Amino acid sequence: MPKVIGIDLGTTNSVVAFVEGGKPTVIPNAEGSRLTPSAVAFTQDGQILVGQLAKRQAILNPDRTILSIKRHMGTNYKVRIDNKEYTPQEISAMILRKLKEDAEAYLGEKIEKAVITVPAYFNDAQRQATKEAGIIAGLDVIRIINEPTASALAYGLDKEGSQTILVYDLGGGTFDVSILEIGEGVFEVKATSGDTHLGGDDYDQRIMDYLIEEFKKREGIDLSQDRMALQRLKEAAEKAKIELSTLMSTEINLPFITATQHGPKHLSVTLTRAQFEAMTRDLTERTREPIYRALSDAKLDPSKIDKILLVGGSTRMPAVQRLVKEIFGKEPRKDINPDECVALGAAIQAAVLAGEIRDIVLLDVTPLSLGIETLGGIFTKIIERNTTIPVSKSEIFTTAVDNQTSVEIHVLQGERPMAADNLSLGRFILDGIPPAPRGVPKIQVTFDIDANGIVHVSAKDLATNREQRITVKGGTGLSKEEIERMIREAQAHAEEDKRRKEEAEARNQLDGLIYTAEKLTKDATGKVSQDLIDNLSRTIEEIKSADKSSIDKIKELTNKLNDAIYKVSTELYAKAGTQQSSASNPSGDQKQNPEGGTIDTDYKVQ
């Protein structure tokens, strides 16, 4: 089935998106950019340029470069180029054709159908013209939808029951406010208002004006006549505006901005967010009146608005967000990229109409990690949280002591590193493991979560194929609140948990080393001087009864034991080297330590 795309055909910029695997995604254009300027140019040699390329030559070719054609949609306006007249829909079609072709190149398939968005206030003629533009571009426009409706779809508000929402859309050059009523999947536009000539570019201009003014005051030079300097100021102003959305102050440094007979001149200005907000307050305030007008047209009080959506790149400015919050007394939604929100919503609508959304296999994820308890009370995760299910994962574990014939598998769920802090889902014992040195048996533990979220855990001794299993019903059946609480707790205890885990690991390491040392005293007897053996035995006994209450103490004991082992093994190797003996190799055992590839399972002495 061919893909259907969603297009936000904007006044200054356009965006195209599609749905893949149930998620809307923006398609970058041929130049690698997610936003395509809504600009068209007819060059002298008969080429048609669209997007960034059209903008680059605009000054050279002003009569043959068309910007903001959307403002003329549905009117009798004509663009005249070389004695040929073009309607607004023909110009728009050139933009749509580029979006279509770039999407085809990106997706590697033909695109025939699209959903295109228009402002909520567009009348029938304007909507018809938009549809015609699509047809001229070779697109079957399966629906024209309102931009605020698309935003609401992007936020998934159609699934949240009846509500009244306000969409605040401050783009590059236009401001729109729309009030929508959503119920039973039907969107009704209650009121629209706005300012057709207000946007982010006005904010950039204020910073530029300020920089020019400051420079004039300090140096007595007017930069506004210097095109090259203006270009640098424009770039710096936009950068400063963006930075002031996250920083409280920014430095604008433009060295060698101009030169006089006395030498080069530099521009260096520090701009605080407060200064920026003061110099643009009137712009932000200009959005207030349209909001109240829309509210009064809809006969609604601000308190009757359930949700406010912020759309358009300029809504990233903290002053804008503050104004909205002040009017409505609640936090606006702004979690979806405001530049892409409309196109994403259009893509969702496109997928719904194409029947794609219905066909989507709804995939669930495990809300919390699953795993087992291992040596020292550590929680070893086998399936990480947010893994898409159904899923199956296996890991090999081993025994912790010599001749251990059974292991206990303790199944846990949660995010904390220590087993005891997580939710126990059940435990079972796998026995009948043939006696072997620790670290030798291979126990395969498999977690399987089926499509219904039911967890099956099995443990299999790979030597005998003996297997035990457990099924955890409703294991992931925690409420949303419980899951959130567990994740929060994991974050809150992260530091302390990390320390405890490190301590448990250090303890495991020391236990492993004691095991190695004990084995060495047996293996090395008669091969090295008895003094060294006695010293090692004494050290082992000392360490077994020593205070192991802190990680530092454990590490100290580990070092001490390592020293004693080292003395024995050095002599052992020195002799082995001369005798070509194949005496057992203490470092061979260390490979089985918990630090290696195998992890000792928690065990219980039967």
Which of the residues are catalytic? 8, 70, 147, 169
* Pairing verdict, β 13-20 and 23-26: antiparallel
The answer, yes or no, to whether the previous bond of 37 is cis (omega within 30 of 0) is no
**Per CB under 8 A, does 46 bind other proteins?**
no
**Per CB under 8 A, does 450 bind other proteins?**
no
Shortest distance, CB of residue 102 to other proteins, whole angstroms? 14
Between CA 250 and CA 244 the distance in angstroms is: 7
Whose Cβ is closer to other proteins: residue 228's or residue 462's? Answer: 228
Measured between its terminal Cα atoms, the distance across the chain in Å is 61
**Per CB under 8 A, does 362 bind other proteins?**
no
Shortest distance, CB of residue 406 to other proteins, whole angstroms? 42
Burial class (CB in 10 A: 0-12, 13-18, 19+), 455: buried
**Per CB under 8 A, does 60 bind other proteins?**
yes
Whose Cβ is closer to other proteins: residue 232's or residue 555's? Answer: 232
Shortest distance, CB of residue 438 to other proteins, whole angstroms? 42
Between CA 5 and CA 346 the distance in angstroms is: 8
What residue type is assigned to position 255 of the chain?
P
**Per CB under 8 A, does 605 bind other proteins?**
no
Shortest distance, CB of residue 236 to other proteins, whole angstroms? 9
**Per CB under 8 A, does 20 bind other proteins?**
yes
Residues 63, 41 contacting (CB under 8 angstroms): no
Q: What is the CA radius of gyration of the chain?
A: 35
The tokens of 46 are what? 């008969």
Binding residue for other proteins (CB under 8 A) from 259, 278, 365, 462? 259
Could you tell me which residues come within 8 angstroms of residue 551 by beta carbon, excluding any fewer than 6 positions away? 499, 502, 503, 506
**Per CB under 8 A, does 32 bind other proteins?**
yes
**Per CB under 8 A, does 451 bind other proteins?**
no
Task: Single out the residue of 250, 259, 255, 249 nearest to residue 267, CA to CA.
Answer: 255
Whose Cβ is closer to other proteins: residue 53's or residue 141's? Answer: 53
Instruction: Give just the sign of the alpha carbon dihedral 332, 333, 338, 342.
Output: negative
Instruction: Give just the sign of the alpha carbon dihedral 225, 41, 10, 195.
Output: positive
Whose Cβ is closer to other proteins: residue 361's or residue 605's? Answer: 361
Residues 108 to 147 in contact with other proteins, rule: CB under 8 A: 108
The region of 54-62, 381-389, 564-572, 596-604 touching other proteins under the rule CB under 8 A is: 54-62
DSSP per residue, 54-112: HHHTTTTSGGGEEE-GGGGTTSS--EEETTEEE-HHHHHHHHHHHHHHHHHHHHTS---
Task: Single out the residue of 143, 125, 114 nearest to residue 88, CA to CA.
Answer: 125
Shortest distance, CB of residue 515 to other proteins, whole angstroms? 45
**Per CB under 8 A, does 228 bind other proteins?**
yes
Whose Cβ is closer to other proteins: residue 33's or residue 196's? Answer: 33
Shortest distance, CB of residue 36 to other proteins, whole angstroms? 15
Shortest distance, CB of residue 256 to other proteins, whole angstroms? 4
What residue type is assigned to position 316 of the chain?
R
Binding residue for other proteins (CB under 8 A) from 77, 256, 292, 566? 256
**Per CB under 8 A, does 364 bind other proteins?**
no
Give 248's Cβ-side CA count (13 Å radius). Answer: 0
Binding residue for other proteins (CB under 8 A) from 34, 48, 57, 195? 57
**Per CB under 8 A, does 463 bind other proteins?**
no
183 by DSSP, 3-state: which?
Answer: strand
Give 120's Cβ-side CA count (13 Å radius). Answer: 27
Residues 502 to 541 in contact with other proteins, rule: CB under 8 A: none
Could you tell me which residues come within 8 angstroms of residue 538 by beta carbon, excluding any fewer than 6 positions away? none
**Per CB under 8 A, does 597 bind other proteins?**
no
Size of residue set near other proteins by CB under 8 A: 28
**Per CB under 8 A, does 329 bind other proteins?**
no
Binding residue for other proteins (CB under 8 A) from 161, 264, 434, 596? 264
Whose Cβ is closer to other proteins: residue 231's or residue 424's? Answer: 231
**Per CB under 8 A, does 387 bind other proteins?**
no
Binding residue for other proteins (CB under 8 A) from 185, 220, 263, 588? 263
The region of 215-223, 226-234, 280-288, 490-498 touching other proteins under the rule CB under 8 A is: 226-234
Could you tell me which residues come within 8 angstroms of residue 448 by beta carbon, excluding any fewer than 6 positions away? 390, 391, 392, 455, 456, 457, 458
For other proteins, what does the binding mask look like between residues 409 and 428, x meaning CB under 8 A?
A: --------------------
Whose Cβ is closer to other proteins: residue 129's or residue 354's? Answer: 354
**Per CB under 8 A, does 231 bind other proteins?**
yes
The region of 100-108, 121-129, 183-191, 461-469 touching other proteins under the rule CB under 8 A is: 100-108
Neighbouring-strand partners of residue 264: 259
Whose Cβ is closer to other proteins: residue 162's or residue 231's? Answer: 231
Residues 142, 130 contacting (CB under 8 angstroms): no
DSSP per residue, 9-49: E-SSEEEEEEEETTEEEEPP-TTS-S-EE-EEEE-TTS-EE
Kindly list the residues in this chain that would bind other proteins in the complex (CB under 8 A). Answer: 1, 20-21, 31-32, 41, 43, 49, 53-54, 56-60, 106-108, 227-228, 231, 255-256, 259, 263-264, 359, 361
